[in-house]
Structure 1
């Protein structure tokens, strides 16, 4: 203050002084009937008593003039006895009605109360700056913890990298900055998404830029190698290309790496307008913690996408193939994996041309379920396709496949039915069969009941010189041979005793569809078993139907 401040030391109150008694005792002695001041107040060290308080105490009359101020009030508030309080914000407080108040004076937070005492008002004021700062610091820390917890929860549910990057930018604006740009490193190019804080709502934009277009040594280049760049004098110009055209002058900025698995998954660019406070040390620490969570989420989403793509490729390689068009033959197939979400399992079928002009087919069941069984069934299919290039005898194929399985890295137990189809000139179809422990197929004659083909053998993967059964069937026009895996007959029903679907029920079902197209028969069997089971299959289901189409045919191409 420009005025000289003096401390007025009060004299001990006298009983004959009504004003002093009023101020220091609170008793009203203005009237003749008022109580007399206690005689023992004479000689009390009032100045020392009040100056020793860390509370600011002063009194003002109804005209707003200070009548008394202790040393702390003079030092902090600048009030002086005999002068009116004119400096804000205390002037407004004193001129108002007595009561509790909070006010900011310079860098201090003041909290006080006024008490009316006759013609005067006694004011008691405390400096609560440190208390308020502690409370503010606690609230700020709580906010930071809640922000990081919310970020972890929202980012942890992102399995798509683009969604994780967008969530990162949305979380950062306006909580951390007025603009946030998340840059993801795609090796050859950089993809980015930007969120800007608008006057009413946030705006969003995205794009790409070539990896070679990032200047060496720039803030973005440094962040992509794992270094944090904060409030560098050139930072505003460095990140200008990533900011919106109308962003304006950059007041404060940061470019932070997004830690990934080994290498940064990208970078987070934060920019504040010129009117906003710069990043403080505690905010820098918060940004780095946030970036660590965002980087982990983006990196995990990228890894998940890569694994999903690889799994999709593997899945397509082991999925049942489309059936070919075979002259003189009608084919039908149906497949239901026990793990429906995987679309694959241990059951499989395949139809391929053989080296001698005949068409070869296989239906098999690998022991197990899920991915492991699917991989093993894929290995068997690939081995068979290689063997079919040079061998067309079904029993010989089983023997070669069995030896390859037993001498491989991990023995595989599987049952197979392998056959060769030969369309005849009269429209019939000769089918040569060999079984490796598989259930015998059902023969559906156009004018007879379904019956099992008499054939049996040993599963592959058990014995080196395992016996394999052989049989030959001639199908007349309209006749069909139905091959199926044990998931059909061993499917348990939904009733309390959970009966098997069984061969008899399968035969009866086929009888009802005698003469139907091969594709209809196969799909009907699979659907009937699915209905029988109810909620979920206990095992994979595969059905392959081979039907003599009838009519003269030439040799297979």
Structure 2
């Protein structure tokens, strides 16, 4: 330290005089000796950069200001308030998660210690503050705690533009002394302790911080809304059923939202039977996903009054048209009933959908001849149904045209097609339902490579193998 001051004297720098001069500047000023050690920091620098003090090294965020050589290796750094606030706004805009934004607000606040108080869940308050270890922690209290600090509730309710908190009450401030509170977001406040330069600076910082907090809060609410809606559009977990093995693949075209126009469902009944469906709404993305949700809900309701697949499709067609459906849907609906001697008896009906496939025990693949018109568009549509029996270990495959119309990664004109699908299914003889779905998914995605694809969905229904 003494050597540093001698260096100052040797170069003609009167540090005491420098301090008196720069304290009147409207910029933060930091003077460093040739070794990079802080020798002078004016009042504003101490507010904008609380970690700057005589004998410390220069923090990286100060280096973003204006630099001036003073001679003999001595350097002065200048940082204007507007520049500092603009830089804070840029840094606050970087994180998108609400918690990360609040941590950044606390870390960048122009004070030795900052606390952000915000409305929380169930009418409580959140208190975000610096910790002795240098991190940021959050505590939660009732709203009544704010009233134990005289004048603070008035700031939270925006009755006043700022308040000095001389009595801190029971709040988890993590600091002592006098705090200066200014409004932040609606029902929130920024409270700073230690060397506050001006209330105007805190207000200007709080305005930028509030914009970042409100943006992250809106984004979080939107994400919660999307997650809630998406949860109702994703396939439900496949049930465990005696005598049946089930597996599925669901790969939407739009991976960002994880939902699409394809869907499948299995609805068990108390008698051990079940209804099942796999469908494909025209198009993909959010509009198709929303329509698939309507189709699924309609089917779920109609199953209460009708279990026969062909009649169920007639009712669904009428219901969708009555609701003003503009998108057509193709689907296969079926019922399954375990047979006492082993195996499953299936009754199937289809509306404009690719024919189901059956993998027999000897590796043969049969196509189930079941036909019908598309659903939800025309007033008069014919649907027929057929019955198929699966011996123990045999498998029924329902799939969307995303499989057969998958385009080869190095030749976008060539489709995966029915022949390759049947061959891939034949390779699954003797495999479990999960192994069948995994194999088909792998084969199709090897074909696709990294290329884009349509919604791609399949449902495997397998009669449980005989146990030894």
TM-score, structure 2 as length reference: 0.78
- Equivalent residues of 2:148, 2:168 under 8 A apart: no
1:396 is displaced (CA, Å) by 0.7
1:101 is displaced (CA, Å) by 10
1:449 is displaced (CA, Å) by 2.6
Question: 2:347 maps to which residue?
Answer: 432
- Equivalent residues of 1:229, 1:254 under 8 A apart: no
- Equivalent residues of 1:227, 1:256 under 8 A apart: no
Separation of aligned partners in 2, 1:447 and 1:106: 93
Higher Cα radius of gyration: 1
CA deviations on 1:52-104 (whole Å, 9 max, x unpaired) are xxxxxxxxxxxxxxxxxxxxxxxxxxxxxxxxxxxxxxxxxxxx99x999996
SS in 2 for 1:166: helix
Question: 1:154 maps to which residue?
Answer: 91
Evaluate the alpha carbon distance shift between residue 551 and residue 153 of structure 1 in structure 2; reply closer, same or farther with a 3 A threshold: same
Aligned residues: 405
Question: 1:220 maps to which residue?
Answer: 152
Match of 2:433 among 492, 502, 518: 518
SS in 1 for 2:155: helix
Match of 1:368 among 283, 289, 302: 283
Question: 1:535 maps to which residue?
Answer: 450
Separation of aligned partners in 1, 2:200 and 2:92: 19
Question: 1:210 maps to which residue?
Answer: 142
1:329 is displaced (CA, Å) by 2.6
Separation of aligned partners in 2, 1:105 and 1:171: 27
1:238 is displaced (CA, Å) by 4.5
1:216 is displaced (CA, Å) by 8.4
Separation of aligned partners in 1, 2:84 and 2:269: 66
Q: Does residue 1:349 correspond to 2:264, yes or no? A: yes
Separation of aligned partners in 2, 1:100 and 1:480: 89
Match of 2:401 among 480, 486, 490: 486
How do 1:223-238 residues align onto structure 2 when only pairs under 5 Å count?
223-230=155-162, 232=164, 235-238=165-168
Question: 1:256 maps to which residue?
Answer: 182
Separation of aligned partners in 1, 2:389 and 2:378: 31
TM-score, structure 1 as length reference: 0.66
Separation of aligned partners in 1, 2:18 and 2:360: 104
- Equivalent residues of 2:350, 2:385 under 8 A apart: yes
1:241 is displaced (CA, Å) by 4.4
Separation of aligned partners in 2, 1:291 and 1:364: 52
Match of 1:177 among 105, 111, 114: 111
Q: Does residue 1:268 correspond to 2:190, yes or no? A: yes
SS in 1 for 2:420: helix
Separation of aligned partners in 1, 2:108 and 2:211: 15
How do 1:152-551 residues align onto structure 2 when only pairs under 5 Å count?
152-172=89-109, 176-186=110-120, 188-195=123-130, 202=134, 204-215=136-147, 218-230=150-162, 232=164, 235-238=165-168, 241-244=171-174, 247=176, 249-250=177-178, 253-259=179-185, 263-264=186-187, 266-272=188-194, 276=195, 279-280=197-198, 284-353=199-268, 358-447=273-362, 449-549=364-464
Separation of aligned partners in 1, 2:18 and 2:336: 100
1:209 is displaced (CA, Å) by 2.0
- Equivalent residues of 1:436, 1:456 under 8 A apart: yes
1:517 is displaced (CA, Å) by 1.7
Structure 2: give runs of 5+ residues left out of the alignment.
1-8, 23-65, 67-75
